[in-house]
Amino acid sequence: MTLLSRFRSWLRALVRRSRMESEMDTELRFHIEAFAEDLVRSGVPRQEALRRARIEFGGIERAKEECREARGVRLFETVWQDTKYGLRMLRKSPGFTATAILTLSLGIGANTAIFSVVNAVLLQPLSYPQPDRLVALMRSSPAGNQWAISVPKLIVYREQTKVFESIAAYDSAGPGINLTGGDRPEQVKGIHASAGYFEVFGAPIALGRVYTAEEDRPGGPHVAVISDGLWRRRFGADPTLVGRTVELSGDPYQIIGVLGPGFKSDPPADIWLPLQADPNSTNQGHYLRAAARMRPEVTLGQAQAAMKLAVEELRRKFPNWVGPRESATAVPLRDTVVSGVRSALLILIGAVGFVLLIACANVANLLLARATLRKRELAIRASMGAGRWRIVSQLLTESLLLSLVGGALGLVIGFFGLRALLAINPVNLPRIGEHGAEITLDSRVLLYTLLVSLFTAILFGLVPAISPTREDLNATLRDSGARSGGGFRQNKTRSILVVTEMAMALILLVGAALMIRTFEALRSVRPGFDGHNVLTMQMALSGSRFKKTAGAAQMVREVEQRVRAMPGVEAVAGACCLPLTGGPDFPFAIVGRAPVSGSYSGDVQWRNVSPQYFEVFRIPALRGRVFTARDDAGSTPVALINEAMAKQFWQNENPIGAQLLIGHGIAPEFEDAPRQIVGVVGDIRDYGLNNEPAPIMYVPEAQVPDGISALENRLMPFLWAVRTKVAPFSLDTEIQQEVRATSGGLAVAHVRSMEQVVGESTARGDFDTMLLSIFAGVALLLAAIGVYGLMAYAVQQRTQEIGIRMALGASPEKVRKMVVWQGMRLAVIGVVIGVVAALELTRFMAGLIYRVKTWDPTVFAVVAVLLSAAAWLAVYVPARRASRVDPIVSLRYE
């Protein structure tokens, strides 16, 4: 009943607002007239009676306001009125409005941009059904987790059916699969996956079926499942494709199924072939990944415990199969996708947070200056009966309007700015798709931007909104001009804001400067190889011809001869790997030396290369010789080592003549004869320019054990590198043709210059550097504007005082110095605070920077000087204006 009537009253008030207004008017007028009539009756003249009645009644407007409030429509009405009024006020001062909106849109835009990346990379769930049930099965050691599994371990883990619904092992789509036959050979990405794969990832099946566990056995049928994309692109979406046989790398495969269009695998692939792993395998190579789907009621902790138990059981049965400190665990699959980028993204989030705070401080300063000018207006409103909260809400509404418009603009700037940056500088971030296509404006990004805008409005709007309402009404009204002074407290607030801005800008600039120093350091690093004028390309060595080393070695020799004969070509090499792209590692023993751990002396990088590899990359022989064409299958097994390996394992002794036994005991098919070291070559930086050279052993292409060749051909692409005398891409087509023809029609893929390979290796860091520099630049600009705004305002406010000083004999010089000093004092305080804070905060950047200390004195000094210079410039302009004040004019100034 009460509730109903309350609602009715509210509704009525809402709908018939104007009628209620006029009724209220009538009612109050009646009251005053009735009162006056009583007074007249007691002998007071009519005019006087009305006057007395009004005075006795008190503030009519205030009473009305309280009535409206009592009626419960205040909120709606207030918002409506405030919005209308706010828009009018903002339109009236376009300069202020434009500055504030632009500043806010920069701050909010930067946040939207970074958040949309964070959203795509870190927050979006994986695109599989019930993604939180998916875990990656990891090999763990005190040094960290490694997402790798061997076939024997897969067989054991597959029995963990209590915790896992299904387990899949798969390779990383390394070499690509040659889709031959037909008129155009094509290289597509293919994954060898165990039968559980489709169940684990919940792959939708559009046509046909996927392979069964029966088919996923050694000697099982040649069957293939293809992606929707390949089905449409290559087979014209033929509905009768299932059952047809295609030629994959020269072997016939029957296509048994097509997956649905939404399925995105990681790594991306278009073909899935059964892994057909041997359950009796003893192969200790960890070259597969494993993922599992947990049962619905199983927790991550239980899955981890089960993995630990399983690996201990394996250790009991086969002590040699599990390393002394090795264990196993399960981690959420999503963590494996984003592990490398999280810290950089969090730092960027922090950076844009600072940009936003600086923007807020700037707009708060603008609003404070404006609030001073609007003091009279607000005082009049207060005297007309507007309560304190009414005025605060009015001012907050204006802030909100600014931040919402700024937010909308920021959304556009941030989102499309980021897209543009990604288009110019494609960066290899996981999960963002081609040129950031997967970074979308979904509801989460929109909501985030809205929340940031609201938060911003409160942040920059609240301080100025509260401070003027504290002022004494009468004092303000008595003051004649709109230019009444800002008062000590307000200038103090504004000074604090400016100091904060300077400090935050300094932190950002230090961060950006550290990244730039890193960028330079990486550019000046000597990688140990010469990538200039080198063309590289990939090929998948699949098919029966390359099952054994001899076939591949034969082809490499032919390609070397034929391409080298081409005009403009200096040297040609085929290899497992390019510098900077990593490769496999193997344990080895030095013959005649006591092993260090287990039966090995150590575990280092393995590279099988053809003889001219060192000529192509200009890697010098420091001792002994490099490989020649005579180091073939029939000659003595030889190896080269790099300087790092020589230093680590031979110190001051001569390694030449020593013998290496590589990979002994891993698996029978990898068994290698002892190799004689014939030379020591220069170091190269193989795992990124920012990593010290690792020990490497090189083995001639023609002498690789068959088992290792087969494994490499299955897991990794084969690489060609050609040193040219001319611009490498000018020979691109001819070289490709020659290589393709010699290899018997295999597709050539991923043609890049070595300089591009180097560029890609630093692309992500460069992208972070670019973003951080942009943000620091924006921060610098905003901070300078902030200082300028404060000083310009102070000078304007104090024109009269300055005029008096000058009339009393102060020179323009002195006035200028005074203003500069006052501004610079704030700037310097900000810089000092910023330096202290930056010393603390840059610690978080330790993982992103290279060859520069987080407290690099040069960086701090340069940044402090740069920021101070910007502040000085921002202060100098108003200071000069102050020094030109004409005492006569200023004293009349009103």
Partner 1 sequence: MDKQLDVLQGTLDMLILKAVSLGPLHGYGILFRIQQISRDRLEIQQGSLYPALYRLEHQGWIASEWGESENNRKAKYYRLAAAGKRRLQSETEKWNRMAEVIAGILHTTPEEV
- Where do contacts with partner 1 occur on this chain (CB under 8 A)? 1-2, 5-6, 9-10, 23-24, 26-28, 30-31, 33-35, 37, 56-60, 62-63, 66-67, 69-72
Backbone angles phi, psi at 607, to 5 degrees: -135, 120
CB of 14 to partner 1, least distance (A): 13
CB of 204 to partner 1, least distance (A): 58
In this complex, which beta carbon is closest to partner 1, that of residue 26 or of residue 599? 26
In this complex, which beta carbon is closest to partner 1, that of residue 38 or of residue 132? 38
In this complex, which beta carbon is closest to partner 1, that of residue 70 or of residue 143? 70
Angle (CA) 724-729-734 rounded to 5° is 80
Nearest CA among 618, 603, 520 for reference residue 571 = 618
Helices 857-883 & 812-841 angle (0-180, nearest 10): 150
In this complex, which beta carbon is closest to partner 1, that of residue 62 or of residue 647? 62
Distances (CA, A) of 599 to 285, 320, 665: 16, 10, 9
In this complex, which beta carbon is closest to partner 1, that of residue 24 or of residue 421? 24
Angle (CA) 588-590-592 rounded to 5° is 145
CB of 388 to partner 1, least distance (A): 17
In this complex, which beta carbon is closest to partner 1, that of residue 25 or of residue 801? 25
Backbone angles phi, psi at 639, to 5 degrees: -150, 155
In this complex, which beta carbon is closest to partner 1, that of residue 67 or of residue 482? 67
CB of 393 to partner 1, least distance (A): 19
CB of 67 to partner 1, least distance (A): 4
CB of 42 to partner 1, least distance (A): 13
CB of 6 to partner 1, least distance (A): 6
Q: Which two tokens stand for residue 84?
A: 């209308």
Distances (CA, A) of 683 to 470, 533, 643, 647: 71, 20, 6, 11
User: Could you tell me if 289 and 172 are in contact, meaning their C-beta atoms sit under 8 angstroms apart?
Assistant: yes
Backbone angles phi, psi at 272, to 5 degrees: -120, 125
Element (H, E) at 508: helix 487-524
Q: Which two tokens stand for residue 846?
A: 């330790």
Which residue type occupies 167? I
User: Could you tell me if 646 and 606 are in contact, meaning their C-beta atoms sit under 8 angstroms apart?
Assistant: no
User: Could you tell me if 683 and 722 are in contact, meaning their C-beta atoms sit under 8 angstroms apart?
Assistant: no
In this complex, which beta carbon is closest to partner 1, that of residue 1 or of residue 143? 1
Locus of tokens 């896992």: 164
Nearest CA among 167, 188, 165, 152 for reference residue 287 = 152
User: Could you tell me if 559 and 572 are in contact, meaning their C-beta atoms sit under 8 angstroms apart?
Assistant: yes
Distances (CA, A) of 226 to 63, 292, 714: 77, 22, 18
Distances (CA, A) of 800 to 483, 486, 788, 789, 816: 11, 14, 20, 19, 15
| Beta strand residue intervals within 295-339, DSSP E | 327-332
Backbone angles phi, psi at 294, to 5 degrees: -75, 150
Angle (CA) 370-376-377 rounded to 5° is 80
CB of 28 to partner 1, least distance (A): 7
In this complex, which beta carbon is closest to partner 1, that of residue 17 or of residue 564? 17
In this complex, which beta carbon is closest to partner 1, that of residue 30 or of residue 76? 30
In this complex, which beta carbon is closest to partner 1, that of residue 63 or of residue 832? 63
CB of 65 to partner 1, least distance (A): 9
Which residue type occupies 60? I
CB of 29 to partner 1, least distance (A): 10
**Residue 618: CB atoms within 10 Å:** 15
Q: Which two tokens stand for residue 566?
A: 């081409």
CB of 378 to partner 1, least distance (A): 22
| SS3 annotation, 518-529 | HHHHHHHCCCCC
* Contacts (Cβ under 8 Å, ≥6 apart) of 470: none
In this complex, which beta carbon is closest to partner 1, that of residue 59 or of residue 261? 59
In this complex, which beta carbon is closest to partner 1, that of residue 185 or of residue 385? 385
User: Could you tell me if 110 and 356 are in contact, meaning their C-beta atoms sit under 8 angstroms apart?
Assistant: yes
CB of 70 to partner 1, least distance (A): 4
In this complex, which beta carbon is closest to partner 1, that of residue 33 or of residue 214? 33
CB of 76 to partner 1, least distance (A): 14
Distance from C-alpha of 304 to C-alpha of 510, rounded to nearest angstrom: 42
CB of 55 to partner 1, least distance (A): 10
Our measurement of the distance from residue 152's CA atom to the centroid of its chain's CA atoms, rounded to an integer in Å, reads 37
CB of 15 to partner 1, least distance (A): 15
User: Could you tell me if 722 and 534 are in contact, meaning their C-beta atoms sit under 8 angstroms apart?
Assistant: yes
